[in-house]
Amino acid sequence: MKYLLILIAASSAISYSLSARSEPLDVASNNNEPIGHYAYFLKETTSPLSLKDAINAFSDEHFTRSKEAFLSFGIGSKAVWLRFDIRNRTNSTVSKRLMIKNSWIDKIDVYFLRNNQVAQSYHTGDAQPFSVRPLENRFFIFDHVFQPGTTTLYIRTATPDPMVLPVYLSSIDAFVDRQMLEAYSYGFLYGGIFVLLAYNLMLFFSLKSSRYLYYSFYLTFFLITNISYTGHGFMWLWPDSPRWQLWSNPVLMMAFAISGLLFATRFLNTKKYFPRLHRTVIYGSAGFAAMQVLAVVSGSHLAALLLAFFFIFVFSASMVFLGAISLYAGNKSAKYFLAASITHVSTSSVTALVVWGIMPYSILAYRAIDIGMMIDAILLAMALADQFRISRQGKIQAEKLAKVDPLTEINNRRAFYQFVRPIWSTGQRHKHDMSIILLDIDRFKRINDTYGHAHGDRVLISLATMLKNEIRAGDVLARWGGEEFVLFLPETRLDTAKSIAERFRKKISELCIQAGSDTLFITVSLGVAHTDKADMTIDKLITAADKQLYSAKEQGRDRVC
């Protein structure tokens, strides 16, 4: 019983709502939403109808009552007639502004009728230069003063583009407030995209990485495509080119999708990791571009539109697929790319469903693609930043490995020269004392031959660790090669260098290194040299220390010369 009562109440509410909407639109009400549910509509079937034909068709009940606030008839629709009855219940005139919130309708004819006579009419559309519009706006707007009583409004629209007809009737003040809010939102969107575009162009010129250039192209085509799609392009950039306005949406949509795929192949490096897929994307994009050129050359606007919308679908699916397989293959930066692609697909799908009339209209849903593209752009910028960070870390790590001996983890010969040269130049200029110690393990070959290279490596590591812990803060230690080590001692006289070398010799002789069940004790021979000439070079000083090392070997090893 309870459910029956609920069903009756719901049915009554629906019936009341429909009956209320069958009443004429009250001109005194403030309508912030589309007024499509007050409309009757008729699609032309064969030849275009005149206003008289449309009035007769309504009298013959050929018009259909709309049940939706947001009217949409899809791509390639025949011309559509709308009819509204608008009632002014007051005894004075009321000024209102009619707006068709669509920027790409080719032809619009608007008729305000009083007592079956045309009181005011407008004829405009994208097929005419922007300057002939009744009021300067990216949408189609018309002012009318409503007399007391009922005014009948007929609107005829024709375009091969998506026939989307959000019709508003509001006061001029309410219209201005709404336009101001939208202007701020588009300013935020275009400003954000432009900042990202300028930033990535600067990165391209400074880093010479083509991925930033491709991303800049992607942002540029999104920006231009959006400006065309919203009507800002016709208003700002090409107001006297209605022919380009006719083709701008399909052509720019195609260019946007192709630039996005080219960026994806560069960013994800598909040429290297997925060569067959890379060729498919490149050749597929070229094929779609060629078909679009043919559509434009042949003048088939509907074919160009359908091709552009289909390719946008292919582009969106491809971006998600490329991001997913790259992430699966181990590309860490692909996580941002995949998130951006999923965001783009989700939000553009919402807008497409609204445009096609499948999903209820709301300003948020209608502009979901704008919100999604802003998020998409930010996530892709984060992906580029993450890729740069990973690349930078790899370079730093590679540079570090190039300077470090992989076994002992101390400086190699290359790093030794890099660190010593600036100290040497300063020391020479100011005539500072500088010394070199060259150290060689005695009978190291015997250790390798007896215990194996693994134990020989353990000896080298133990010795390097001890030296690293014993050197002074400003000294430079490096593995010179094989079992030889070098130590540069800035601000050090010969007698001090000799004392340091002697301390090292004693400490090394006390090292205990396990080789299986045996304990190894090692000795070293050390050669010390000191700058004693103004024209002394690092290499000459090392050669002098090497001679002293050779003398230590000849004198019986385990000693300092």
Span 154-212, pLDDT tens digits? 999 999 988 989 999 999 888 988 889 889 989 998 998 999 899 899 989 988 889 98
Residues 385 and 272 in one domain: yes
Per residue in 278-337, pLDDT (tens digit) is 999 999 999 999 999 999 999 999 999 999 989 999 999 999 999 999 999 988 889 999
Domain boundary among 148, 170, 192: 170
Per residue in 515-540, pLDDT (tens digit) is 777 788 899 999 999 987 777 899 99
The runs of H, that is alpha helices, within 299-439 are: 301-328, 334-355, 363-366, 368-403, 413-429
Residues 97 and 224 in one domain: no
- Rounded to whole angstroms, how far apart are CA atoms 119 and 107? 20
| Cβ within 8 Å of residue 127, ≥6 positions away | 106, 107, 242, 246
Q: Are the C-beta atoms of 15 and 50 separated by less than 8 Å?
A: no
Kindly state the tokens that stand for 117: 């006579």
Per residue in 396-424, pLDDT (tens digit) is 776 676 788 888 889 998 889 988 999 99
Q: For 441-455, what is the mean pLDDT?
A: 88
Nearest to 341, CA basis, from 302, 384, 298, 379: 379
- Rounded to whole angstroms, how far apart are CA atoms 553 and 527? 9
**Alpha-carbon distances of 323 from 216, 311, 330, rounded to whole Å:** 19, 18, 11
Query: Is residue 406 in some structural domain?
Result: no
Query: Is residue 35 in some structural domain?
Result: yes
Collapse the DSSP code of 520 into the 3-class scheme (helix H, G, I; strand E, B; otherwise coil) and give the result. strand
Q: What is the 8-class DSSP label of residue 494?
A: H
- Residue 215 has a CB neighbour count (10 Å cut-off) of 28
Q: Are the C-beta atoms of 93 and 77 separated by less than 8 Å?
A: no
Q: Checking DSSP bridges between strand 25-26 and strand 80-88, what pairing results, if any?
A: parallel
Q: DSSP string of 181-239?
A: HHHHHHHHHHHHHHHHHHHHHHHHHHH--HHHHHHHHHHHHHHHHHHHHHTHHHHHT-T
- Rounded to whole angstroms, how far apart are CA atoms 39 and 52? 18
Domain boundary among 170, 196, 219: 170
Residues 163 and 104 in one domain: yes
The CATH number that applies at residue 67 is: 2.60.40.2380
The structural domain count of the chain equals: 3
Strand partners, 241: none
Q: Which domain holds residue 511?
A: 413-554
Residues 121 and 207 in one domain: no
- Rounded to whole angstroms, how far apart are CA atoms 215 and 266? 9
Collapse the DSSP code of 144 into the 3-class scheme (helix H, G, I; strand E, B; otherwise coil) and give the result. strand
Per residue in 196-239, pLDDT (tens digit) is 899 899 989 988 889 989 999 999 999 999 999 899 999 999 99
Query: Is residue 559 in some structural domain?
Result: no
Q: How confident is residue 511, by pLDDT bands cut at 50, 70 and 90?
A: confident
Query: Is residue 408 in some structural domain?
Result: no
The CATH number that applies at residue 453 is: 3.30.70.270
Residues 203 and 104 in one domain: no
Residues 165 and 252 in one domain: no
Give residue 361's identity as a one-letter amino acid code.
Y
Q: Checking DSSP bridges between strand 164-165 and strand 513-515, what pairing results, if any?
A: unpaired
